[in-house]
Chains A and B, each alone.
Chain A
Amino acid sequence: SALTQPASVSGSPGQSITISCTGTSSDVGAYNFVSWYQQHPGKAPKLIIFNVNNRPSGVSNRFFGSKSGNTASLTIPILQAEDEADYYCSSYTSSSTLRFGGGTKLTVL
């Protein structure tokens, strides 16, 4: 089964939003191997956060990742129109597999 994410989140430009990703003590809670991906319609996903709170080179510094217990979070402090997309979290598991979240549709109002 997938990690638990809200189905949708929305905000206005300039606002802050947070997307949660809840797992268990066998995945999110056990490892600092949580990643986040952004997917625009019709495109392949793009890595935006890895290992909880690291940004790949070239990714906007407006994306922030964090984790507390079995829940990870992606925060965008200053929302921009181009942030409208689907977002997926993922976590390594104790079974040496990877679980994705169900995905969150971010709408910029």
Chain B
Amino acid sequence: EVQLLESGGSLVQPGESLRLSCAASGFTFRNYAMSWVRQAPGMGLEWLSGIGDSGVTTFYADSVRGRFTISRDNSNNRLYLQMANLRAEDTAMYYCVKDDNKYGDPNFFDNWGQGTRVTVSS
């Protein structure tokens, strides 16, 4: 059974940084692209970033390019999202998601974690 377990979400002040982590199990992690998707309270879904199976290719939404960095550790089956200069509008539930292919440019996500909550407020 595929499991994706996010962690690292917390309450931070504007301008601060935060790193989210996702522990993957139940599938061969190194063979699949992964992405991060977020959902602000009461709002819709927003794709943020994707990474290919090897970690070499990365893709970002315009809204976070330059502030967020996606990475992965295939030795430990972990996905990361480093977030910098956080703003109030980054307040959301952040989901770790598995893509169906290995390439990183996002298509569809066949498995989702339960999410980790990030709140940016002074």
Q: Which residues of A contact B (CB under 8 A)?
A: 2, 33, 35, 37, 44-47, 50-51, 56, 88, 90, 92, 96-103
Please name 19 pairs of A and B residues whose Cβ atoms are closer than 8 Å in the assembled complex, sorted by A: A33-B107, A35-B109, A45-B95, A45-B109, A45-B112, A46-B112, A47-B109, A47-B110, A50-B100, A50-B110, A56-B110, A90-B47, A92-B106, A92-B107, A96-B59, A97-B62, A98-B106, A101-B44, A103-B45
Q: Which residues of B contact A (CB under 8 A)?
A: 35, 44-47, 50, 59-62, 95, 100, 105-110, 112-115
Given the known interface contacts A47-B109, A50-B108, A90-B108, the answer about A100 and B46 at a Cβ–Cβ threshold of 8 Å is yes
A-B contact number at CB 8 A? 59
Contact B59 A44 (CB under 8 A): no
Picked from A44, A102, A103, the residue with its CB within 8 Å of the CB of B113 is: A44
Picked from B45, B61, B110, B114, the residue with its CB within 8 Å of the CB of A97 is: B61
Contact B45 A96 (CB under 8 A): no
- Cα A47 to Cα B109 in complex, Å, equals 7
Contact A97 B106 (CB under 8 A): yes
Contact B47 A88 (CB under 8 A): no
Residues of B within 8 A of A102 (CB): 44
Nearest-CB distance from B66 to chain A (Å)? 15
Residues of A within 8 A of B107 (CB): 33, 35, 50-51, 92, 98
Picked from A33, A47, A98, A103, the residue with its CB within 8 Å of the CB of B47 is: A98
Residues of B within 8 A of A96 (CB): 59, 105
Other than A35-B108, A88-B45, give 15 A-B pairs with Cβ distance below 8 A. Answer: A33-B107, A37-B109, A44-B95, A44-B112, A45-B109, A47-B110, A50-B108, A92-B106, A97-B59, A97-B106, A98-B107, A100-B45, A100-B47, A102-B44, A103-B45
- Cα A53 to Cα B105 in complex, Å, equals 20
Residues of B within 8 A of A46 (CB): 112
Given the known interface contacts A50-B100, A97-B59, A97-B61, the answer about A45 and B105 at a Cβ–Cβ threshold of 8 Å is no
